[in-house]
Structure 1
Amino acid sequence: MTDIITIALNKLDADPKNVRKTYSKEGVQELAANIRSDGYRLLQNLVVRKSEKKGHFLVVAGERRRQALTLLAEAGEIAKDFAVECKEREADKATEISLAENIMREEMHPVDQYEAFKVMADKGTPIADIAARFGATETVVRRRLALARVSPKLLDIYRNEEMSFEQLAAFTVSDDHARQEEVWESLPSWNCNAHAIRQALQNEAIKATDKRITLIGGLHVYEAAGGVVRRDLFDAGNEGYATDVVLVERLVAETLEAEAERVRAEGWKWVECSASLSDDIFRMKRAYAVAVTLSDEQQAELDSLDAEYDELAELIEAGAADEETEGRMLVINSRMRDLHNLTEAYSSDDLEKAGAIITIDYYGALRVERGLIRSDDEIEAVRLEANNASGGEATPKGAKPFVHSQALTQELTAQKTAVLRVELARNPDVALAAVVHALLLKVAYTYPGVQSALEISLTSERLETSIKLPEGSKALCAFNDLRENYGYVIPGDPADLWEWCMEQPHDQLLNLLAYAAAHSVNAVAKLYDDRRGGCAHAEELGQALKVDMNAWFEPTAEGYFGRISKAGIETAITESRGKDVAAGISGMKKGEAAAYAERQVSGTGWLPEPARFVSIGPTSVRDNLEEGHAGDVGEVNDAFYGDSVLEVAE
């Protein structure tokens, strides 16, 4: 029975067999507005069955439409016995019909919505009326109409499900269809997210110091590829900005892909490129390489290259290098990296289950993370290993093993822990190895996947974020070199670290302890923190280490003088060279004054107050300061931090 019949609205009731029980008030109101805008006509007939109540029918499919009509009747817009067209079905099909209507339907495609809305908008229909007509919110209508800014070619790509709606929406920041298509075709698939699209279309200039520019080899490489550079006449370095973001991203992608091809040749199961590392990588397990000894010829070549590199670096430092020096250093560095890669190797089993990610490090250098194991690959590897162990057959089910209760397990392991503590306290040699092992797991491995029994926590302040030009910091570069050198000493696999530590002599363990502990030193003075006591101890630590700050740091125009006021510059020159030398500062422009200060202060040993170490006597730093500022806590704190901390802020 499928004939269309007309039934009075007040003769229609909700069907208890309708699988959909919940209707939002807002949704019913929106539908009522849509019905009103179309002359109180329904686009789709209701499906009903006869009710046990004489003359009444139950709505099998279309309950929301019935409620919307009832709302209109209660408002007096239509009669209570408003004629409703319906299709009658048998009662035994009610649940099946209701389920089909609610499940077997698909939301209208966003582009189809846009085209439908656009037809009405082109006729001058207000946004509110379009929203009411289609039962949508005004926000949805506006968002769909914004797709008019997107290239038809990209709309078709989205229709073909080759692009996400988030990506499509990102193109609405521009009206230039040709530029939109260029961005879509230029950005690599692994870096074609909404943020990258918006950044490329908004044409945000990229600084010469950006790590992407560093990766591709500098602005001159970008310019050689046809890129335009905007230069600031007031920029002392005249480095400039790359204005073509898409070109930069393409050059970055080509650089990463070139490295990826070399890494793929190593035989990994998968190799991917990524402009930045996802947090998911920290949860991935890893395979680690084993040490391989270089041949005598390879070792001799590595030693020769290392010596040549040092000689060229000394020439650059002395200002005696020619135009070919830096190019030669790049060649040497590349070859040394290749030779270092030969000092370790992965097993064939690891290559079959693990992969690598090619990315950019903080300084703009290529970074390869090898040996990463995806969860699915890990499960598959475990399954294969289990099958191999059982001769390819499923492990037979055995008797259920005895298991201690949680409470008893906790007590017995507490007893074990107490024994370990007392025995470790009696054995300083093992204790030293255990502490070194625990600390190295924290600082020497990016993703150790191994834990120590010692609950030793080590935090390390990221200094690069507090230094404007980290690559120009001698101390930071020296510490990174130290990290690299120790990277060749300790085992590559953290699972081997404990046994290795137990085999090391006492002196080596002490060196490693110093290296690991050095990561935790923090004398950074921030505006909001609670580390005044720690910074005070840093002064004592500096005195104990007999630190000569002048050997590591020198104030320059770019790194210091250009970031303080002219009054500060005048004070610095007065302290280092006298009032006469500082007399002309007030009449200079800021850039001239900064450059002048760098020349005058150079070689004097003068340092900004925050970079100095407070002189101490036989008692602590704070005790000495408090003797000179008795009872004045503010003055004591000022002696540690000084006004210059705020003065140098840009």
Structure 2
Amino acid sequence: MIQSVKVKNLSLSKDNVRKTNREAGIDTLAANIAAQGLLQNLIVTPLKKAGHFTVKAGGRRLRALQLLIEQGTLPVDHTVPVLVLTDDDNAIEASLAENFQRVPMNPADECTAFNFLIQKGMTAEDVAKRQGVTTRFVEQRVRLAELAPCVFEALAAGEITLGVAQAYAVTSDIDRQARVFAQMSTSYYGDTPDNIRRAILNGTVKANDAKARFVGRDAYLAAGGRIEGDLFATEGDENWIDVDLIETLAAKKLEAAAAELAQSEGLAFVTPIAATHVPYDLERQLHEFHAPARALTEDEQTRVETLSAENDQLVEQLESVLADGTPEAQMANDRIDAIERELETIDDARHEIDPALKAQIGTFIYIGGDGEPRVHTRLFSEKPVVDPNAPPRTTGGETGEGAAGDAEQGSKLSATLIDELATQRRQILVAHIASDPAMALDLTIFLMAQNVVFEQHHVPNHSTLKSSAAGFPIFGFRDEGSMASQTIDDQRQRLDTSWAGHTTMTERFDAFRALDDEARGAWVAFSIARTLEPTLNVAEGYRQNAFHDHLGRTLDIQVAHWWRPTAENFFGRVKKGIMLDALEEIGGPILRGRYKDAKKGDLAATCASLCNGQGIVEAEIREKATAWLPDAMRFDAVEKPAKTALRSSFVDGDDGNDPAEDEDTDIGDVDTDLEPDDRAGDQDDDQDLSEAA
């Protein structure tokens, strides 16, 4: 029997078969009841107290009604229709039937219904409010309702899942959806959302791409560019469709910036590079120019000394007399800042380039990873720079770097005597340098730094100390686009090369020693780092060097922040078992089993997508995937002792040159096969250093 009962007279029965997830979706159901009313009556049985009933079926509806009354949406004495049963057994059976016999609504029908409401004139916000869902949920369902007919029909027929349909819906281009659907229908692994999404988005650019950020969203749209938001990804994620337009706009904007920079700085040229780095090959086609810093004038030197003394005095006061936070301490800190700014101004004046020289040199402008234009800090010239203010050359040979003219003025010495005297003078020089650590350290850094700057020129320095860049084992390998390579390029650009513009090694060394500790320290760090050869954490081969692993651990290197495995650089080049092992390490046997029958190419793409945070998986699995690395790329190896201890010549008192002992010394797993020092052509590249500078 159907009758009306006040909600406050209803209570939930303990016999209701739904025991778990009772509170799930109550807010949504309440919003729907508020908009549509109670569309289905409750099933109740009477209690002993007259007019009171216990709800056997419809417990969630009762909670939703109680929530609406509590919120004030419904009145306290609100009544609802109920079906009154007198038999408890029948009531339990009714509760079971109501919960057990439910058939979930087909996603396609949901989409059609939401789209129907929108077509009637309701806004997405209105529908969301009436149905108790988010506006984004409504927009997602409407997007699915507008899928290509073939895709939507497959969703309605249960041939594809909701996740697959969402992958097709990342674009509103139904023709592209239909083409990809036709391709994927015949693919063995064409029902994977990651593969579908990758195929759909092929040829598009993400909004966070460096070029897209450089062009700007407004400029792109104003030029007719098309943007599609991915409703099924992170909110705000967009795909820019017209890649050619992005390239054109980026090139025009960069050309304008290059022209403006060239005019404002008086440079001969500024070459725009519509990329995130300047190709090394372009640099090699030009002459690198190093502007020497002039010496300080007497007035400048006096001012620098005065400011430095004042700075030291203020620092001493802050450390010993002035208390933190007092007005006096704040005044002292402000004065120190002012001193630093004035010293920087004086130093900048030393590095100003003569306008006559600027008219012969130029540089590059490119797009930084943050989407901002970046100016190459190094300067170049198409031809050797000619300084119109330089004194004319005198006949009788070049000056500096060991001119031959002076040697021929005196009496000629025999070759044997020259060798003997040179050896004796070398011994004297070595004895003195070895007793002066400060001079030796400066000389070490200078020789390595000079090797970096003039590595394309033959500069005889009569020292065996080198810091040549280690050669890549793959000829012609280029990796400028990686985060690590870009960082190395930035480090190279920040090095102070003012000393390199001088024409003699003597002048360069004196100018180098005049640099501050931080500038010289940057040179030694860069010079030493570039000598490291490629090694890998593998069990076999000469590529293993566990000492490098120790360096990596000491520096706390987080490889996952710098390198991610992709189908191109890893997964597509290993056996299927390695990929499945990676999946098991990330998500356990379940994740491995999910992809065990996939084709190798599809599996490589899936693994790459997961490890780059693009897979549709649980948050815990995504976190593990984005941190996963192959063992070879980890700095986990531990160095093993050499099989025979290396003997020190200093301990034994010999000169370490006994060939017999050298043959007997076994240094364990260290591979003594040396790769050829790729210095071929150095002698052929001899150039006048004054021109190179």
Task: Give the TM-score, by structure 2 length.
Answer: 0.38
Report the structure, 1 or 2, having the larger helix content.
Answer: 1
Larger Rg: 2
Q: Which has the higher contact order (CA 8 A, sep 6+)?
A: 2
